[in-house]
Amino acid sequence: MKKVKGKVAIAAMFVVLCWAYSPIGIHIGLASYSPGQLALLRFIIASIFMGIVAMYQGVQVPKFKDIPLLFVLGFFAVALHHIALNFGQRGVSAGAASVLAQSTPIFTVIISRCVLKERINAWRWCCVFGGMVGALMVVIGDKGLGNISLNGLLILVAACSWSVYFILQKRYSQRYSTLTMVCYTVWTGTAVLLVFSPGLLTSMQASSIQVNFAVLMLGVFPSALAYVAWAYVLSHSEVSKVSIVLYLIPPTAMLMAAFMLGELPSALVLLGGAIVILSVLAMSLAKR
């Protein structure tokens, strides 16, 4: 039992490191690739890797009627999410992007109320309001009040897109195993991103070894291995308990960005980030 708990803890921290690296890798990759090309190349690598995993672990063959659903999941989780994220990061620091991306549960509550007509209590609405105020502080504090752009809003669009995926995946996850859902989400999302394939080979040839290595890391670790590790964590733990570890991602990303990119977040970004994380954490604890 102790060995299993130790492996789960290691896997959880591995996930945190992988997903904390994601905004740093995106920042490096955007130096040579367009946002669309970067998303496509990242998930071509992830698709190949998940294909190798599927060969050894095995995945279920989807029913014909579920194929449109899988493409919808791939669109929201991979295509729209990462296109919005990449475009947004052209004007937002890696650390601030990691904080804004952590606002997904806030949008999950809003969508659940507006679309699914679920009842939301006053406490959770207060958490939503606090999270949105914190996100606004991060956007303002990142580049200064006089340099506010739509880039921060695009990262919030990415978080909203992930919320839609989360709601849909939760409703239909009983049909297939976690690994099967991850594989088909990655593969269908990559298929949607193929619209950005023109010029990709030329960009790869013109890009430096360092940039291509950063993109390779993006494809293997945050986009593939992290999902496999997270599936392992969820299979051996309660979701409500282990999900709290994900709130370590923004501070970890800020430390990595400071070390790898020389980015130092402003006091307003740190304060806004703390408000976002505390709001989401309070929402999670209230739900428990």
- What sections of 75-177 are H helices per DSSP? 81-88, 94-101, 104-114, 122-143, 151-172
How much is the pTM?
0.85
* Predicted pLDDT at 141: 73
* Predicted pLDDT at 137: 79
* Predicted pLDDT at 118: 64
What is the domain count for the chain? Answer: 1
Tell me the residue range of the domain where 101 lies. 2-287
* Predicted pLDDT at 10: 86
Cα angle vertex 48, ends 43, 50, to 5°?
90
* Predicted pLDDT at 18: 92
Q: Which residues have CB under 8 Å from 241's CB, separation 6+?
A: none
Q: What is the mean pLDDT of each run of 10 residues along the chain (288 residues)?
A: 72 88 94 95 94 87 87 92 92 83 72 65 76 78 61 84 80 77 92 95 93 94 85 68 73 88 83 80 65
Q: What is the C-alpha to C-alpha distance for residues 279 and 130, in angstroms, rounded to an integer?
A: 6
Q: What is the C-alpha to C-alpha distance for residues 47 and 218, in angstroms, rounded to an integer?
A: 12
